[in-house]
Structure 1
Amino acid sequence: MHVEKTERSVGELIDQIGRAEIKLPELQRDFVWKPTQIAKLMDSLYRSFPSGSLLFWQAEDAPVVREMAITDVAVTPVRPPLYLLDGQQRLTSLHRVFADHPDAQIVFNIERERFQNQSAATRQDPRWIKLSEVLDPKASMLRLTKRLIDAGSQLEDTEIEQRLGRIRQFREHRFHMEILKGFPYETVAEIFVRVNSGGRRLGTLDLAMATLSARWPGVLEKLQGQADYWRRQGYADIDVNFLSRALAGVVLGGGLSGWSHGRLATASDEDLDQGWATVCRGLRHVAALLRANLKLTGSGPLPSMLALIPLVVFLGERPDAPLDKELSDGVIYWLLVATMQGRYGGSTDTTLSRDIRAARRPDPMQALLGNLDLLTNTPQVTVQSLTGRTKESPYAFLSLLAAQLNGARDWWYGTEILPGADGDRKLETHHVHPMATLDGQYDKTEINDLANLVFISGRANRRIGTKTPAEYFPQLDVEELTAHLIPLTETLWKPEAYPAFLEERRRLLAASMNQLLAQFRPTWLDRLPTSPAAPIDGYALSLVLYASTWDPGRLLFTASGDGIRWTGSAAMAEFQQAITDASVVGIDGDVRIAGETVPVQVVEEAIQVQVGPFLVTGTPDQWRQVIERESTLPRPLSTLPSVPEAPWLGAPPITFPVTSTE
């Protein structure tokens, strides 16, 4: 075994990819770079910034491979291929730009020397030129220069030629390379894990997948085949990532950790085969229960897929015997409460380990319910539980289920409101009181309140448009309204009665949700004292962005609840950057909130930030959605109120899911 050190130009490497002389081993992850990241790589090459080295493996026996995210290469290599271990994002990006890939339409502004992805604005401005045009060996630099001058560029022709020439030189840029020779697959997988976990963030799931690929060749094909099956069934979220985590959960008996790949490497063939059989069998049982009991024809409405894994373990490993009603109800009841409480919004792998252990105990249902404290208390949804919640809240899931089980039908097609439909029948959240009539009187949190939302088809949503309930409700039957838990008091249908409408509909939603929970609660849990439906009931955290066209502005936080009254703010640019660093690179950082520096920490697969009295937690995707939500309609920066910027000095912070922020 030895390591050869060499270098090659971008042009040589791209040509090798085109000849299928560079391939991806199965242990590689997906191509994930966005056009903005590709544009930054082009900018680095333009400025002659360091671009890192590449790591390859020259295999004696061809391993299982996966497709590169490029235009199809339908050739048989003349020379034995090299297998790319580190540098996939950079090489794939370069190939896409050179090949004019539709997802890498990078353009260059000749005067501002700026790179970005093609947009409607750049298409209208001829001073932006596509990189693929400049990089085409057959392109005439003279013609391109003349075209830019004719477009109104104020640069001298020699300066234009010089700048275009720097782009043309991308093909000559040289990468340092290391080629592993004579290494077995198992050792290569370990090297891959170490290299990637030390650089750009590679999650525990990626590390586990790399190990499984080396330990169990062909596993990606198994996972992809099963994912394709579930996608056809409407459960697109049962994808390769979910299946990988479920398999690891079954084999390891818990969630993933930084050392999971080491434990997976020692798993026997029998453990892996049996674990895979458990996952496949358990999923079929779970999906059947969801369809029969909750009318879930698709996975889209589920706030967290991870909550299914303990049930997959329980149902996949139990003896092949009929599932009595008491047990099936217990499964559904556990899922509903776990979802309502946001059980998998924080330290997911720690929680998953605890629930998988419970699923394997002699009385698994009792153990799982005990993990949610359901053996001593009955969770009760109240009007207060729903106050201030939006469609990102776990209560939105229960709102949909309550309407379905109440017999709600679409207001256009008259069919059941079922997830998974396409086109005009696809379910959308419809504002009962339209935004057009509320805007200016209420803030976006109040307008987007869960009590103002119903689930209907896109066709019905567009048909109603901006009509007020007083205008379109009379066209619907009483049954059509009550099934969607709409108050029938006509005075509440007018815009001026909006607060009273929200209060009454929360009451109807809460009653229906409690009825839903009671329908599946095992009878042996009856007559227990009631408790709040979720730990954060009665607490609220609102985020409001104040910004201008030239200033990203500030995020204003307002926390309230039992004994809590606190406000503070943070610079939006700093806050967003900290979340991005934690999401993409996995780097812990900090941000100033209310005059105090607080950590932004990556804990397992979640990001945690203490915002006043709350430890706000969520997945990277959930944080991004919240930031996008706040950025959509910011308030004018000039209206930012003056608030006391004082850190929270009260009780220890309460864990608060970012999906429940307003």
Structure 2
Amino acid sequence: MHLPEPKNLPYKTLLADIEKGLIKIPQFQRDYVWSKERAAGLIDSILKGYPIGTFITWKTKETLRVVKDLGGVVLPPVPEGDFAEYVLDGQQRMTSLFCALKGVQIKRGKKTDDFAEIFVDLNASEHDQIVVIDTADLEQGTYISLTNLINAGLTVLASFDAKYHAKLEEYKQTLQGYNFSLIEVKEAPLDVATEIFTRINVGGKPLSLFEIMVAKTFDATEEFDLSEKFEALVNRLREVGYDTISDATVLQIIALVIGKECKRQNILRLDKKRFIEEWPKVASAIESAVDYFRGYYRIPVSKLLPYNSLLAPFAYFFYHHNDKPLNNKQICLEDFFWRVSLGGRYSSSVEGKLAQDIKRIDQILGDSKPSYDWAIDTSAQFIKDNGWFNAGRSYIKAILCIMAYQQPKSFIDGSIVHISNDWLKQANSRNYHHYFPRAFLRKQGLGDEHSNHIGNITIVDDFLNKRKIGAQSPFVYMSQFADQNCDLETHMKTHLIELNEWGIWEDNYDAFLTKRCEKLSEEIKKRLVLREQDRNSHQSINIEDIDELALEADL
């Protein structure tokens, strides 16, 4: 590999190379975000002779997804057989220079920024801002547009007062004679080039792995654009409430299918041709896994999934198994799902654990029963001790999934409670109802550490919480519902609550919490293939499990 080589590029060569398609801005899914003000500041620095930073480019024959046009100026493809110089550092500066010096228009949503409206104030001293975007306070004839300064002939310049002629000439010469500093990384592999990009971008937002893979896997002849393919997949999943799947999880799945490993370096080294070939089958396997979560586990929306990453082992399963799993496979998959969810498995080191778990999925595919090196304490006491309610904890999400499985019905009329990603965005969602209201328990001298417990949570419709219950005791509000709803007892069972002998009519919170934890314990046991290790377990909760930010793989 050649060492990075410093070089200077004159202004005219830089612009000409961009227009010829030799210098390319890789489209790492990052839009041009600099304002006209910042672009004007950059030109101002050039006119004052200040350095504007070094551009770092990667010279290669690899084809990346690139910005095809800048403000309506169509940039041609790299000429056949030529090397391209991809800008690794200085994308925003390079684009600003091009837009300002060409006077192009950039559309941002409904707003259009006209970069032709950047002006040089001919009365400004070197201590003032020479390049401005607002000429309201300037007299006609004391300023010139940047594009006119660069492109105009003698007649335009001669129309200015003679006292400005020297300055106009000096500014034009300064711009056209400016040498841009460039460091060229020659013919390095993509992972080296992107590593350089990531390291030099410490101050800015580093590229995500997905953005790198969008650039790497782009193929014009195959019409493959990962960004578009991913968006289309998410749009299909949105129709069934599973649109919060992360791009990181999708990349993990492809890597696991191709090579059974999904660390960052494994993903970066994936062969482009194989990646493109596998995409349709992987996308289909993801949809099959989602259908299975919705149908068999009755998890209605992706926000309830204890981990986004759970889609990886299940998509891997469906990639290798076209039909619905039956008998032993079905039992083992369910055991796997709840062990991962209740055991806080993917709260840390997720890529390594996924690689281990794929071996377990291979065993399930081969009709053998995997072993596990972690136990699940299914006891009611464990739930009672560890059930503090935080909608970001995988342990709590797992129990919420068990509640959603029952298809809970309204206390008022028995209609099915609608669960959507929208209301699950808020951890304090009103759809999580404290069966013994917190305000009621506070009056009994019990703080939120007692009331804010998964054993005291039910999933209800929004209006029920606000209008019908408030701070009333269970005895008071349940008596009202009993008068309105003759099937109340049946409907309460869909919330895993029995109305009688649970302390509800006596407003006895301790009795209720004990009974509800026992009920939840029974439901957990139904979903696991219990082993000796579970029966003797006194599992401790992974503290990282509390942190919602730790739930997903940080790629």
Q: TM-score, normalised by structure 2?
A: 0.63
Query: Pick from 135, 138, 148: which aligns with 2:134?
Result: 138
Match of 2:157 in 1: none
Contact 2:10/2:180 (8 A) holds in 1: yes
Contact 1:29/1:206 (8 A) holds in 2: no
Provide Cα deviations, 1:509-561, integer angstroms capped at 9, x if missing partner.
Answer: 43333333344445xx58986244x7215xxxxxxxxxxxxxxxxxxxxxxxx
> Shift in Å at residue 331 of structure 1?
1.2
Distance change in 2, residues 1:201/1:212 (3 Å): farther
Match of 1:428 in 2: 431
> Shift in Å at residue 300 of structure 1?
1.0
Distance change in 2, residues 1:324/1:231 (3 Å): same
Match of 1:461 in 2: 465
Query: Pick from 328, 331, 336: which aligns with 1:329?
Result: 331
Contact 1:300/1:419 (8 A) holds in 2: no
Distance change in 2, residues 1:618/1:274 (3 Å): farther
| Counterpart-to-counterpart distance in 1, 2:355 and 2:403 | 33
| Counterpart-to-counterpart distance in 1, 2:217 and 2:395 | 41
Q: Report 1:471-510 matches (<5 A).
A: 471-477=476-482, 478-479=488-489, 480-486=491-497, 488=499, 500-501=508-509, 503-510=510-517
> Shift in Å at residue 22 of structure 1?
8.9
> Shift in Å at residue 467 of structure 1?
3.3
| Counterpart-to-counterpart distance in 1, 2:512 and 2:533 | 27
Contact 2:55/2:182 (8 A) holds in 1: yes
| Counterpart-to-counterpart distance in 2, 1:352 and 1:344 | 8
Q: Give the structure with the larger strand fraction.
A: 1
> Shift in Å at residue 51 of structure 1?
8.4
> Shift in Å at residue 350 of structure 1?
1.7
Provide Cα deviations, 1:243-302, integer angstroms capped at 9, x if missing partner.
Answer: 112112222312304x3256x25x4734x3564355234323322221222222321101
Distance change in 2, residues 1:290/1:409 (3 Å): same
| Counterpart-to-counterpart distance in 2, 1:140 and 1:292 | 64
Distance change in 2, residues 1:624/1:423 (3 Å): closer
| Counterpart-to-counterpart distance in 1, 2:53 and 2:257 | 38
Match of 2:356 in 1: 354
Match of 1:390 in 2: 390
Q: Which runs of 5+ in 2 are unaligned?
A: 79-83, 100-104, 112-130, 140-174, 483-487
Match of 2:266 in 1: 260
Contact 2:53/2:181 (8 A) holds in 1: no
| Counterpart-to-counterpart distance in 2, 1:338 and 1:346 | 12
Provide Cα deviations, 1:303-330, integer angstroms capped at 9, x if missing partner.
Answer: 2111231222223123x45521332232
| Counterpart-to-counterpart distance in 2, 1:411 and 1:424 | 20
- Could you tell me the percent identity over the aligned residues? 16
Distance change in 2, residues 1:235/1:491 (3 Å): closer
* Other structure's SS at 1:617 match: helix
Q: Report 1:53-452 matches (<5 A).
A: 53-56=54-57, 63-65=64-66, 73=71, 76-77=74-75, 83-87=86-90, 137-138=133-134, 140=136, 178=182, 180=184, 187=189, 190-197=192-199, 199-200=201-202, 206-207=208-209, 210=212, 213-214=215-216, 217=219, 218-220=224-226, 221-257=228-264, 259-260=265-266, 264-265=269-270, 267=271, 269-270=273-274, 272=275, 275-318=278-321, 320=322, 323-361=325-363, 366=368, 368=370, 370-373=371-374, 379-382=378-381, 383-411=383-411, 414-420=414-420, 428-437=431-440, 441-452=445-456
Contact 1:427/1:458 (8 A) holds in 2: yes
| Counterpart-to-counterpart distance in 1, 2:413 and 2:179 | 59
| Counterpart-to-counterpart distance in 2, 1:314 and 1:327 | 10
| Counterpart-to-counterpart distance in 2, 1:336 and 1:66 | 45
Q: Which runs of 5+ in 1 are unaligned?
A: 105-134, 144-171, 538-614, 626-662
Distance change in 2, residues 1:473/1:6 (3 Å): farther
Match of 1:515 in 2: 522
Match of 2:81 in 1: none
Query: Pick from 530, 534, 540: which aligns with 2:535?
Result: 530
Distance change in 2, residues 1:51/1:357 (3 Å): farther
Contact 1:250/1:313 (8 A) holds in 2: yes
Distance change in 2, residues 1:260/1:407 (3 Å): closer
Provide Cα deviations, 1:171-210, integer angstroms capped at 9, x if missing partner.
Answer: x9x99753759x66x7455312333146539999944762
Q: Which has the higher contact order (CA 8 A, sep 6+)?
A: 2
Contact 1:204/1:256 (8 A) holds in 2: no
Contact 1:428/1:455 (8 A) holds in 2: yes
* Other structure's SS at 1:284 match: helix
User: Greater CA deviation, 218-227 or 197-206?
Assistant: 197-206
**Alpha-carbon RMSD:** 5.5
* Other structure's SS at 1:65 match: coil
Query: Pick from 536, 539, 544: which aligns with 1:617?
Result: 544
Q: Which amino acid aligns with 1:282?
A: A
Q: Which amino acid aligns with 1:530?
A: R
> Shift in Å at residue 388 of structure 1?
3.3
Distance change in 2, residues 1:322/1:101 (3 Å): closer
Number of residue pairs aligned between Structure 1 and Structure 2: 455
Contact 1:424/1:457 (8 A) holds in 2: no
Provide Cα deviations, 1:478-508, integer angstroms capped at 9, x if missing partner.
Answer: 33434324464799669x96xx51x444434
| Counterpart-to-counterpart distance in 1, 2:32 and 2:256 | 25
> Shift in Å at residue 363 of structure 1?
6.0
| Counterpart-to-counterpart distance in 1, 2:32 and 2:452 | 32
Distance change in 2, residues 1:63/1:275 (3 Å): closer
Contact 1:437/1:468 (8 A) holds in 2: yes
Q: Which amino acid aligns with 2:26?
A: P
Distance change in 2, residues 1:289/1:74 (3 Å): same
Match of 1:640 in 2: none
